[in-house]
């Protein structure tokens, strides 16, 4: 029998449909386990649950819980908790570095990336400036830690201004690459200048002087990391409180406006350049603080303590935890600092797994572990222009992306 043209066409179409269905089915089989994993996580939604539980508490309850958490954090190094302990390295030391220092640095970077939406790939430079300030003033001028501390913060903030003033008119990826270049410039300069130790760095950096408190006699020596840990926790708490006040002030609202839409913010009368510069300087000063603390503990620093990888780790901490939410950022930094230490027995492959975790994490939870409320709302908002239709990264995020590069 000779099929009519129409029948042939319909047979052709149905064959194609079958083929497509089979292909979709095959794909689904591959994807199913991963999707289930992602969906399970999303349904469980630990971040959201934590937040709702927290929001549900009355104010005194919140305070009590926060106070208990703070006390718990302070006494943590006195124990060697069985599961979260770090076999292979001293738990209390790990709590100071990498964890404590990472948290501090990530909190500072969060001001730049999370609040103002400026991508900084050279943040470690500010940590290096703080650390070198501590090292140089401590070994050459023999000042006390507490005298140097404000200088370290100040120098880092000033370098933030110096970097920001010419470059903050750039947007998006250009700013990212310039900051990356700045990080490399600082690292290479420290490496090349023999007057500040060159590649050998600076050693014999003084420790902070001992402090007598009603609770304890804090002696800052090499062998006991606990007083350093308490010091860094105290500074973390101060930074969190200070930044939280900033975030909820006019400055914070200006940052949000800039992050959401810089042009609109400018048109509405927000002096965007000034506030971006502020974000840079504040972020940098927290980095400087982290650097000073780091240098005062480790006795000797070299330029290789401040390599590009750290900028990346700090950024990873911010994004992993939830850019723009301080609690999330702290969690992210703890994870980033802790995991490689915890799995030291996998010494040779731990960064391999870390890299893989970052990719998987971004696929299933790009907004981070504990996203900021506003960010989460943005993520849910699918009505924004450039929906999932085109499947192009650039187009999809066109409307909502805070790192939009400026039109030429």
Which residues of this chain interact with another protein, rule CB under 8 A? 113, 119, 166-167, 169-170, 173-174, 176-178, 180-182, 184-185, 188-189, 191-192, 308, 312, 315-316, 319-320, 323, 348-349, 351-352, 354-359, 361-363, 366-367, 382, 386-397, 400-403, 405-408
Q: Which two tokens stand for residue 329?
A: 């950022």
Considering only CA atoms, which of 39, 5, 278 is closest in space to residue 157? 278
Query: Is there a contact between 317 and 329 (Cβ–Cβ < 8 Å)?
Result: yes
By beta-carbon proximity to another protein, the closer residue of 27 and 245 is 27
Backbone angles phi, psi at 212, to 5 degrees: -100, 120
By beta-carbon proximity to another protein, the closer residue of 162 and 218 is 162
| 3-state SS, residue 217 | strand
| 3-state SS, residue 322 | coil
User: DSSP secondary structure string, 131-162?
Assistant: HHHHHHIIIII---HHHHHHHHHHHHHHHHHH
The Cβ of residue 236 has, within 10 Å, a number of other Cβ atoms equal to 23
By beta-carbon proximity to another protein, the closer residue of 179 and 296 is 179
| 3-state SS, residue 267 | helix
Side-chain half-sphere CA neighbours of 16 within 13 A: 6
Q: Which two tokens stand for residue 104?
A: 């501090």
Q: How far is the CB of 363 from another protein (least distance, A)?
A: 4
Q: How far is the CB of 373 from another protein (least distance, A)?
A: 16
Q: How far is the CB of 120 from another protein (least distance, A)?
A: 11
Q: How far is the CB of 323 from another protein (least distance, A)?
A: 7
By beta-carbon proximity to another protein, the closer residue of 249 and 390 is 390
Residue 402 neighbours by CB under 8 Å, 6+ apart: 117, 259, 260
By beta-carbon proximity to another protein, the closer residue of 2 and 389 is 389
Location of structure tokens 């959401």: 260
By beta-carbon proximity to another protein, the closer residue of 18 and 42 is 42
Considering only CA atoms, which of 175, 373, 165, 177 is closest in space to residue 256? 373
Q: How far is the CB of 350 from another protein (least distance, A)?
A: 8
Region for 244 from its dihedrals, namely left if φ exceeds 0, alpha if ψ lies in -120 to 50, beta otherwise = alpha
What's the CA angle centered on 138, arms 137 and 139, to 5 degrees?
Answer: 95
Q: How far is the CB of 369 from another protein (least distance, A)?
A: 13
By beta-carbon proximity to another protein, the closer residue of 225 and 337 is 337
Residue 142 neighbours by CB under 8 Å, 6+ apart: 206
By beta-carbon proximity to another protein, the closer residue of 90 and 401 is 401
Query: Is there a contact between 171 and 406 (Cβ–Cβ < 8 Å)?
Result: yes
By beta-carbon proximity to another protein, the closer residue of 150 and 172 is 172
To the nearest 10°, report the CA torsion of 118, 122, 126, 128: 170
Q: How far is the CB of 142 from another protein (least distance, A)?
A: 30
């Amino acid at each position: 029998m000779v099929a009519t043209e129409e029948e042939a066409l319909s047979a052709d179409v149905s064959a194609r449909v079958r083929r497509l269905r089979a292909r979709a089915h095959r794909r689904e089989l591959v994807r199913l386990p991963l999707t289930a994993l992602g969906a399970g996580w999303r349904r469980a939604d630990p971040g959201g649950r934590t937040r709702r539980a927290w929001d549900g508490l009355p104010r005194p309850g919140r305070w009590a819980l926060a106070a208990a958490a703070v006390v718990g954090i302070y006494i943590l190094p006195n124990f060697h908790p069985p599961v979260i302990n770090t076999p292979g390295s001293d738990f209390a030391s790990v709590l100071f570095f990498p964890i404590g220092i990472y948290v501090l640095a990530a909190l500072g970077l969060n001001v730049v990336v999370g609040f103002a939406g400026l991508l900084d790939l050279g943040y470690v430079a500010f940590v290096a400036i703080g650390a070198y300030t501590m090292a140089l003033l401590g070994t050459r001028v023999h000042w006390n830690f507490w005298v140097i501390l404000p200088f370290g913060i100040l120098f880092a903030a000033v370098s933030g201004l110096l970097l920001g003033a010419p470059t903050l008119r750039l947007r998006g990826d250009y700013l990212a690459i310039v900051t990356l270049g700045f990080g490399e410039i600082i690292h290479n300069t420290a490496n090349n200048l023999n007057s500040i130790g060159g590649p050998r760095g600076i050693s014999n950096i003084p420790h902070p002087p001992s402090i007598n408190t009603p609770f304890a006699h804090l002696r800052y020596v090499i062998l006991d990391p606990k007083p350093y840990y308490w010091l860094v926790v105290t500074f973390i708490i101060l930074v969190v409180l200070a930044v939280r006040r900033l975030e909820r002030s006019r400055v914070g609202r200006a940052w949000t406006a800039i992050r959401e839409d810089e042009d609109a913010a400018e048109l509405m009368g927000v002096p965007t350049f000034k506030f971006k510069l502020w974000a840079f300087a504040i972020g940098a000063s927290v980095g400087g603080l982290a650097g000073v603390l780091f240098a005062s503990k480790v006795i000797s620093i070299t330029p290789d303590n401040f390599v590009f990888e750290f900028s990346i780790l700090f950024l990873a901490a911010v994004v992993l935890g939830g850019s723009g939410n301080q609690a999330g950022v702290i969690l992210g930094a703890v994870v980033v600092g802790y995991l490689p230490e915890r799995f030291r027995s996998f010494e040779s492959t731990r960064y391999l797994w870390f890299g893989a975790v970052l990719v998987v994490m971004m696929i299933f939870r790009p907004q981070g572990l504990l996203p900021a409320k506003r960010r989460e709302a943005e993520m849910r908002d699918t009505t924004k222009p450039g929906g999932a239709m085109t499947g192009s990264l650039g187009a999809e995020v066109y409307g909502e992306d805070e790192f939009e590069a400026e039109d030429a």
